[in-house]
Amino acid sequence: MLRNRMFFVLGLLVVASMILTACGGAATPAATEAPAVAPATQAPEVIPTEAPITATSYTTPHPILGDLKVRQALSYCTNKADLIKSVYPLLDEATQASLVMNTFIPTSHWAYAGDENITIYEFDPAKGAALLDEAGWTLGEGADIRTNANGDALALKFTTTSAAFRQTWAAIWEAQMAECGVQVIRLHAPASWWFGDTTGIARRDYELGAFAWVGQADPGGQTLYACDQIPLPENGWVGQNAMGWCNELASTNIKLANNTLVKDERIAAYTIVQQEFTKDVPSIPLFNRTETFATAADLSGFAPMPGQEYYNYNVGEWEKAGSDTVILGFTQEPASLFTLVEDAFVANIAYQIIRPAQETHLNYEFKNSEIMKDLPTIENGGTVNNDVEVAEGAKVVDADGNVVDLAAGVFVLNSAGEKVEFTGGTVTMKQLVSKFALADGVKWEDGTPVTEADLALGQKIACDPESGATSFITCDKTASAEFADNGYTQTWLPGVQDPLYFVPVWPIYPAHQLGDLAAKDWATDPRVAETPLSYGPYKIVEWVKGEKMVFAANENWVGTPAKSPNLVIQIITPESAEGLLLGGEIDILDSTSLAGLSETMAAAEAEGKIVTFVEAGATWEHIDVQLFLR
């Protein structure tokens, strides 16, 4: 029977990995048709602590999109209900309506500002047309496309992935824009380019760009919406605010929201950010995505859960009756398994088969995974929030969430949570110290124990710009990380009050294999990108590019042995996906391969041939606006 459990996001993302899970579980784009990104709440991201960079590029407002009236008009001309209906036609209208996104936080989320506190752009093409007229883009008699006084056409390049899901709704949106006299030139780019580390979004190579952010069990957002997270040639393309949106009030509050442990303070800060976001329209939020999965009827153990970014958290429990192999169909092939720089959703799924995440958050509740001991919370004593005396010249996080050298005139939050101006001497501030520990007996597939040296290597590579990493907030906010006794003590800078302080910080890499590999060579080394050693339930044994990735059960896995001896990721085409599942040639189709529930699949489920899962995932579609030209 169809399980239409519409659990809504208790979290969204950032990371900023455009999925920087490898760097501490932060966020990243990830197009679910390509990387679904998660914003980085815990991903390493460097906020420069030296003299601020003076941008000399991307300072010219886009001649069309730089005009607020045009951005507002595009929003009014967007019929989100029809976009949702185009990809989820079998959902009832109430469920479709509940998926509409008004800001970067879902309406059911605890941090949502409330309709009354933001600007909502209800579908109103007449209002959109009026705004375009005011902006000087008029529709001549008999014309279909608006022009300005110089005769320039109102035409915009719109880039997204080639996934069937996006081709469907993007075609509808193109038609909606045409109704308002806006010509949209659709470009469906390969996911490897769109989400590449040196191409597409990362290099701001678009005018209008559509993708998805993968939500987490916390809103995050700092790497997406802070002014100092705008990627530029001058700063080495650091940050994920590729829109170029700099609203000082929003920037200050997105940092505040991610630098306090007090929920009410976070809600207030997020409300301000959402107010400014909807006022300025740097992005058009569209809808919360459902995650549709389908499996063979005789497959057991598959159980996607709300709040958990990656559905393969329990991959070792998957089992196909009468077979020693489970076959997962991917319509997108990972470009690399070095997820520090390759943030595609499919790359993270493949990676976590061999290297499971250090924590889970099923139903938005954080827990340690099998490779880690208990998460260190203040409640269980694993973390302490010390009062420390801080003197002039020390690195601290100021009241606005910036890493600064403490000096006269700097405002900080004192140990009582009060915003005070530093005038000299010392000031008492809060400092979080957490102790993380590996579970007993964790080993690499070659039998070598996983130790603190592997965690230390994780920090080294995550914080080295030459590795290809593009976000360093965690690195910059770390006062020290001391690795010992199969774990580490993470000491944050005074002033850091990150609400996810208990989430493991650093990735794990095999020091005995890669300890001498220069950071600049990691992205291209096959031992990193293609055949990374496993500490999880499976190990990768073969990767035939364009065809398949083959995994075998890892005999040195510390957890419960995998129920299926073999697992295969089969690379398939979108057109063949459903047929292969219904024909029994593959056992699982995930949300990157399925645009939604089709009538064919619904009928097949009714006949007992397959089982489908429809979840409201923590992923949301949006169209970002490029505000400035190179």
Per-residue pLDDT tens digits for 342-360? 878 899 999 999 999 999 9
| Main-chain dihedrals φ then ψ at residue 427, nearest 5 degrees | -140, 140
Percent of the chain with pLDDT over 90: 73
Beta strand residue intervals within 376-505, DSSP E: 383-391, 395-397, 403-405, 411-413, 419-421, 426-437, 478-484, 487-492
Q: Which residues make Cβ contacts (< 8 Å) with residue 147, sequence separation at least 6? A: 137, 138, 140, 153, 154
Task: For 376-409, write each residue's pLDDT tens digit.
Answer: 999 899 999 999 999 999 999 998 889 999 999 9
pLDDT value, residue 364: 65
pLDDT value, residue 218: 78
pLDDT value, residue 28: 32
pLDDT value, residue 592: 85
pLDDT value, residue 54: 60
| Main-chain dihedrals φ then ψ at residue 496, nearest 5 degrees | -75, 120
Mean pLDDT of 145-169: 95
Q: Which residues make Cβ contacts (< 8 Å) with residue 510, sequence separation at least 6? A: 444, 448, 450, 454, 457, 533
CB atoms within 10 A of CB 394: 19
CB half-sphere exposure, 467, CA atoms < 13 A: 25
Q: Which residues make Cβ contacts (< 8 Å) with residue 524, sequence separation at least 6? A: none
Whether the pLDDT of residue 31 is over 80: the answer is: no
**20-34, 456-470, 508-522: least confidently modelled range:** 20-34
**25-39, 506-520, 529-543: least confidently modelled range:** 25-39
Whether the pLDDT of residue 53 is over 70: the answer is: no
What does the mean pLDDT of the chain come to? 88
3-state secondary structure of 141: coil
Mean pLDDT of 248-266: 89
How is domain 62-289+621-629 classified at the architecture level of CATH?
A: Roll (3.10)
Hey, which of 99-113, 174-188, 201-215, 303-317 has the most confident mean pLDDT?
A: 174-188
Mean pLDDT of 409-414: 96
Integer angstrom CA distances of residue 183 from 139, 141, 146, 493, 622: 12, 17, 8, 50, 19
- Token pair of 228, please? 């100092």
Helix and strand numbers (H, E) in the chain are 16, 25
Provide the H-helix boundaries in 196-308. 222-225, 248-257, 263-280
Mean pLDDT of 440-466: 97
Task: For 359-382, write each residue's pLDDT tens digit.
Answer: 998 766 789 999 999 999 998 999
Whether the pLDDT of residue 6 is over 50: the answer is: no
Q: Which own/partner contact pairs does 331-335 have at CB distance under 8 Å and 24+ positions apart?
A: 331/163, 331/164, 331/571, 331/572, 331/573, 331/574, 331/577, 331/592, 331/593, 332/33, 332/34, 332/163, 332/191, 332/592, 332/593, 333/545, 333/546, 333/571, 334/549, 335/192, 335/196
Mean pLDDT of 479-488: 97
Task: For 293-310, write each residue's pLDDT tens digit.
Answer: 999 999 999 998 866 778
Mean pLDDT of 134-146: 97
Place of tokens 């919406």: 225
- Asked if residue 26 lies in contact with residue 38, where contact means CB atoms within 8 angstroms, the answer is yes
pLDDT value, residue 594: 86
- Sign for the pseudo-dihedral over CA of 305, 311, 314, 318: positive
Q: Which residue has the higher pLDDT, 197 or 458?
A: 458
Confidence of residue 289 (pLDDT cuts 50, 70, 90): confident
Quote the CA–CA distance of 507 and 543 in Å, as a whole number: 23
Whether the pLDDT of residue 410 is over 70: the answer is: yes
Q: Which own/partner contact pairs does 417-422 have at CB distance under 8 Å and 24+ positions apart?
A: 417/260, 417/262, 422/392
Q: Which residue has the higher pLDDT, 523 or 290?
A: 523
Q: In what order do the strands lie in the sheet with 383-391?
A: 383-391, 426-437, 487-492, 478-484
Fold of 291-361+521-619: D-Maltodextrin-Binding Protein; domain 2 (3.40.190)
Task: For 327-342, write each residue's pLDDT tens digit.
Answer: 999 999 999 999 988 8
- Asked if residue 234 lies in contact with residue 250, where contact means CB atoms within 8 angstroms, the answer is no
Q: What does the angle CA 254 – CA 256 – CA 260 come to, to the nearest 5 degrees?
A: 130
3-state secondary structure of 223: helix
Quote the CA–CA distance of 347 and 20 in Å, as a whole number: 12
Confidence of residue 207 (pLDDT cuts 50, 70, 90): very high
Q: Is 417 left (phi over 0), alpha (psi -120 to 50) or beta?
A: left
Domain boundaries, the chain: 62-289+621-629, 291-361+521-619
Confidence of residue 157 (pLDDT cuts 50, 70, 90): very high
Provide the H-helix boundaries in 328-465. 345-354, 452-462
- Token pair of 124, please? 């109103």
Mean pLDDT of 584-601: 90
